[in-house]
Amino acid sequence: MRVIAYPSLGASLVLAGISPIFFKLALVQIKGEGLSLGAVKAFLTNKYAIIGLTFYALSSLLWLISLSDLPASLMYPLLNLAYVLTVLLASVYLKEPVHALRWIGVFLIIVGSILVGIN
d(CA 112, CA 57): 26
pTM for this entry: 0.88
**72 touches 15 (CB < 8 A):** no
Per-residue pLDDT reduced to its tens digit, 15-42: 999 999 999 999 998 886 667 788 889 9
d(CA 12, CA 6): 10
**32 touches 98 (CB < 8 A):** no
- Show pLDDT as tens, one digit a residue, over the chain (119 residues): 677 889 999 999 999 999 999 999 999 988 866 677 888 899 999 999 999 999 999 999 999 999 999 999 888 888 989 999 999 999 999 999 999 999 999 999 999 988 988 86
85's CB contacts (< 8 A; 6+ apart) are: 13, 14, 17, 18
